[in-house]
Amino acid sequence: MAFLKILNLPDPRLRLKAQKISQIDRSVLRLVDDLLETMYDSEGCGLAANQVGILQRVAVVDVRYKEPDTPLVKMINPKILSASEHLSCYEEGCLSVPGQYEEVKRPAHVKVQFLDENGKENVLEAHGLLATCIQHEIDHLDGRLFIDHLSYLKKESILRKIKKKESVISLSK
Ligand code: QAP
Ligand code: CO
């Protein structure tokens, strides 16, 4: 396993759509393991391949620290089959947008289909934080970030803070 470098906003690769996996070979299994290791080392609860610069439809989610009865989810080619009209609200963060957190409203229940590491098709019905986190990670695979769900003003405020941080870093170099 390996720890991969996580890309931060405004890296343009976070805005690209990841490609479907056509065959689950050793490199895909390795990517799943590396994503898990990178997520745990960074104390995250979800990570998508786009965030480490790999444009393939693979993502991992583990919210067991908060919801102990949920499964560790390793998703290849995930797809939302249905989403509830009822919404729920969670404070979200993102390893690619460090230090920024905002409440995001999303469907409270989702039915998601994906391939597991054995190439077996799974259908999972998720609610609570698990449902939110799964949607957040599938968004990454489509080049979307949680800040895209915020009001214009909240999103601009976060982007401004990131720009400010960047300019401070470039001055100190
Ligand atoms: C997505 O995000 C998520 O800013 C996963 O300094 C998070 O694991 C969905 C993290 C919350 C729903 C609710 C963020 C770690 C981790 C940071 C993460 C940070 C350190 C984010
Ligand atoms: Co994220």
For residue range 104-134, list pLDDT tens digits in order. Answer: 999 999 999 999 999 999 999 999 999 999 9
pTM comes to 0.97
Residue 66 Cβ < 6 Å to ligand 1 = no
pLDDT of residue 165: 87
Q: Find the ligand nearest to 67 CA.
A: 1
How far from chain centre, in Å, is Cα 112? Answer: 14
How far from chain centre, in Å, is Cα 43? Answer: 13
Residue 9 Cβ < 6 Å to ligand 1 = no
Work out the pLDDT band at 170, boundaries 50, 70, 90.
confident
Note the pLDDT tens digit of each residue in 38-91: 999 999 999 999 999 999 999 999 999 999 999 999 999 999 999 999 999 999
Residue tagged 């993502």 (tokens): 59
